[in-house]
């Protein structure tokens, strides 16, 4: 699906959605710091982390057709990276098109350093775009919308299971994706972003990996009472009574 999705991102609708998503990503990623940043995206030709202060930015993709330049070819469900090795991980619409989205999210959480961040971009099923994608997927088996949109409620559950704290969620693209209705509902975009309504077609989620630090506790030894502190050990040592015989 990746070549088809990349072609769709070049359409007027795809460019409009990507432009609005990029604006939200720039606001969030500007304040995320570290040494290493990984991008997993449905597009191999868009650098979503241009506004990041992290110098070492690289990307991974499961395919490398048409001689596209990618950082590495890898299975997103089994990332070839060490545990707690990456400061920021960007997941750009890869969860919707994964056969095992929970496993992919688990891998992203595994490689993220403690107190590192995940930036998750997804399509919102509870939106005009979500309804339109559901209808398009049913009408055509070759549509790019042969995916499973992940609701925010399910995303909350997955994040909590992986010890990831939700930091913020922002939405964009509140109007209809139909070209005839696109112009008529353009005012919905301003209202949705102003009041931060959870009905945008795309969402940008920032989660933080929280790891509880283990503090060693010293054993609490029983102390002798103060009135016996100066006595000899033989005085308060335990004596085994003699066995008595009952007649």
Cβ atoms of 92 and 48 within 8 Å: the answer is yes
In the block, tokens 């110098």 appear at 55
Q: What is the pLDDT of residue 221?
A: 47
Q: Return the ∠ at Cα 242 (arms to 239 and 245), rounded to 5°.
A: 160
Per DSSP, 30 falls in state: T
Q: Does the structure show a pLDDT above 60 at 31?
A: yes
Residue-range domains of the chain with CATH: 2-209 (3.40.50.150)
CA distance 46 to 185: 28
Terminal CA-CA length for the chain? 93
Give the pTM. 0.80
Residue 87 scores a pLDDT above 80: yes
The mean pLDDT value for 211-233 works out to 52
pLDDT digits (tens, 9 = 90+) for 149-163: 999 999 999 999 999
SS3 content of the chain, % helix, strand, coil (to 5): 30, 20, 50
What is the average pLDDT score of the chain?
81
Residue bearing tokens 């994706």: 177
**H helix or E strand, kind and range, residue 25:** helix 12-29
Percent of the chain residues past pLDDT 90, beyond the cut:
49
Could you tell me what percent of the chain has a pLDDT over 70?
74
Q: Which of 138, 158, 154, 156 is nearest to 146 (CA)?
A: 138
> What per-residue confidence (pLDDT) applies to 133?
82
CA atoms within 13 A on the CB side of 228: 9
CA distance linking residue 26 with residue 206, whole number of Å: 12
C-alpha span between 197 and 180 (Å, rounded): 23
Mean pLDDT of the region 19-38: 95
Question: What does 115-156 look like in DSSP terms, one character per residue?
Answer: EEEEEEEEE-SSSHHHHHHHHHHHH-TTSTT-S-PPPHHHHH
Q: Is residue 1 pLDDT above 80, yes or no?
A: no
pLDDT of residue 4: 86
240 pLDDT higher than 50: no
DSSP 170-202: EEE--S-SSHHHHTTTTHHHHHHHHHT-TT-SE
40 by Cβ neighbours in 10 Å (0-12 / 13-18 / 19+) ranks as buried
* 104-133: pLDDT as tens digits: 999 999 999 999 999 999 999 998 888 888
Give the model confidence (pLDDT) of 166-220 as tens digits.
Answer: 999 999 998 877 655 555 556 666 777 777 788 899 999 999 998 755 555 554 5
Cα gap 53→32, rounded to integer Å: 8
């Amino acid at each position: 699906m990746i070549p088809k999705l990349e072609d769709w991102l070049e359409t007027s609708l795809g460019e409009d959605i990507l432009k609005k998503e990029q604006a939200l990503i720039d606001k969030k990623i500007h304040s995320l710091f570290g040494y290493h940043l990984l991008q997993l995206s449905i597009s191999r030709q868009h650098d979503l982390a241009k506004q990041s202060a992290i110098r070492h930015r690289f990307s991974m993709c499961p395919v490398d057709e048409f001689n596209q330049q990618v950082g590495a070819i890898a299975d997103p469900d089994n990332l070839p990276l060490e545990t707690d090795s990456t400061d920021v991980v960007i997941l750009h619409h890869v969860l919707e098109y994964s056969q095992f989205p929970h496993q992919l999210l688990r891998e992203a959480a595994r490689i993220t350093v403690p107190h590192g961040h995940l930036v998750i971009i997804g399509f919102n099923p509870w939106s005009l775009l979500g309804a339109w994608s559901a209808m398009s997927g049913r009408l055509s088996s070759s549509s790019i919308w042969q995916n499973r949109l992940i609701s925010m409620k399910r995303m909350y559950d997955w994040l909590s299971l992986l010890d990831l704290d939700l930091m913020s969620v922002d939405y964009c693209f509140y109007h209809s994706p139909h070209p005839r209705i696109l112009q008529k509902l353009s005012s919905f975009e301003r209202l949705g972003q102003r009041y931060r309504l959870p009905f945008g077609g795309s969402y940008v989620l920032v989660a933080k990996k929280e790891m509880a630090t283990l503090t060693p506790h010293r054993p609490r030894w029983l102390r002798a009472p103060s009135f016996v502190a100066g006595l000899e050990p033989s005085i308060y040592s335990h004596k085994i009574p003699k066995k008595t015989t009952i007649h």
